[in-house]
Amino acid sequence: MAQRLNWLRAGVLGANDGIVSTAAVVVGVAGATGETLPVLLAGSAALVGGAISMALGEYVSVSSQRDTEQALIEKERRELRDDPDAEFIELVGLYRQQGLSEQTATAVATELTEKDALRAHLSVELNIDQDDVVSPWHAALASAVAFTVGALLPMATILLLPSPARIVATFIAVLFALAVTGYVAAWIGGARRARAVVRTVTGGAIALGATFLVGTLFGTGIA
């Protein structure tokens, strides 16, 4: 359940990034021109570039984490092979540090060592589950998909609505979506919902307002 919640939270945050970054681009371009094609091109470039960037970043990050975990697993496996007695004493000491008596700690360490010594050491000593090492490819794909889903909202809003209303409608749709993602992320993490919503919506409003202002200034200058 914890792993699923982590994946869900990562997906929500990825969607949040897609919403903000793509909305900022399309609103900025829409502020500079009333034509649809430039908005479509800029938004598409922001969507594709952002999704790839998110996927690459997630792949590199998770790959580094996985390599570190696998190196630690191999190190622990080697220590168990070379000096099992010392590792057993260490395991007993770790259980003692958690508040178990000497007798109970020894009994637990003995039983778990007989069942799976490596798993016992990884769990208590390093907080690693060897069957739960995250795949960088899965993480990259999930990040790209989440970003794309988030980016489609401002893209669809600003492209499907007529020119006079599309910027205002995009502001409203984006801020509402950010409120939802902020609430969900806070709910998953056990944080205060209201504070997260205000923080997310405020940040999105600033980004949209700034890019729209820049686009308007450039559009005025061109005209």
d(CA 160, CA 163): 9
pTM for the model stands at 0.76
221 touches 36 (CB < 8 A): no
Nearest to 159 by CA among 148, 175, 170: 170
* Residue pLDDT, tens place only, 189-214: 777 889 989 998 999 999 999 999 98
* Residue pLDDT, tens place only, 33-65: 888 899 999 999 999 999 999 899 888 988 888
Domain boundaries, the chain: 2-54+146-222
Cα 57 from chain centroid (whole Å)? 10
Q: How confident is the model at residue 4 (pLDDT cuts 50, 70, 90)?
A: low
